Structure 1
Amino acid sequence: MSQNLRRWFVLSGAVVVLAAVLVAIQGDAPTPSASPRGAARSGAQKNVPLTEVRLHRLHSAPPELEDVARNPFRFAERAAPAAPTRTVSSPSPRVAPPVVVPSGPPPVPAIPLRYIGLLDAPTQAGRVAVLSDGKGNVFYGREGDTIEGRYRVIEVTPVATELSHLDGRGRQTIRLSGQ
């Protein structure tokens, strides 16, 4: 039975290979068209007149372009160029601009601290403001305390704290930023 099965597989394989070869041969050969459409095409190709090839036009120089007067970035019409006039004039003396002198003392520098939190303990007296200088340093202070040796805490509220410089100038309110 194995002999019959083997013969059956060999015969089936030979039929498949033969079919593949026939399909490949027919795919390569041009098929003659007996349809009227194919006959019309071949007849139309025989009667096509040849057009004249003008190679001399390829070697001629292109025409010169005109000067473009259009500017898409301007909305007004182009102004006529002014006639050059030569006038002889004596050079005018240069006047130095007036020197601006600042009036009053220089402005007080801003306090570079941020109000980032509030510590409010009911058993403790007063609220404690938590301030940061943005460089990783954190400062704590109650009303009246000195922070960083330069600033005094005037008032601490849940939404803002008020600071001033130690010498009393430059009072500044810093709102709670949470960062």
Structure 2
Amino acid sequence: MDTRPLLRTPRTSDYQSVGKTLREAEKNYVKTLDNRKMFLAVFSAVLGNFTFGYALVYPSPVIPVLEHGTDPTMHITEAETPWFGSVFALGTCFGGLSSMFLNDWLGRKLSIMFSALPAAIGFLLMGSAQHISMLLLGRILTGLAGGLTSSSIPVYISEISHAGVRGALGACPQLMAVCGALVLYALS
């Protein structure tokens, strides 16, 4: 009769070699993945954050033009100036709150796609404004879209990316928002 134990007592080196091979396997897995579709999906999604950053700093170059402009319908008073800057934040609050429901109802991907509608309408209103009220409404709509994207995009990215690149891709929304602000300042 064999009296040897079924399991031997593990040595510390056994655990170290298992951990090492798992790390190597994960690195090889990340290298062999075809990440093009995932990166394209992430880039497409973070374009919403680009427009968020662009719309966020929009008042900075526009307010001086509106204050000193000659068109009476597009003139902004000293009392209206803070409103022009802050209605964006009101829209962002509503967008962030509505994203809680839209993310569950439509899913993250469709919520991000839906956010393009108020953003496009808002930018069209601001670009073709004939009165200051059109600018204010455009700011509210771009804020709404910004609130939707700023809460939906990070969740979407964390869902579609694998662990090897999740950290790097998780930084992309903020980077694109800063790039949007930078582009506006470069164009003005």
TM-score normalized by structure 1? 0.23
Greater per-residue helix proportion? 2
Greater per-residue strand proportion? 1
Larger radius of gyration: 1
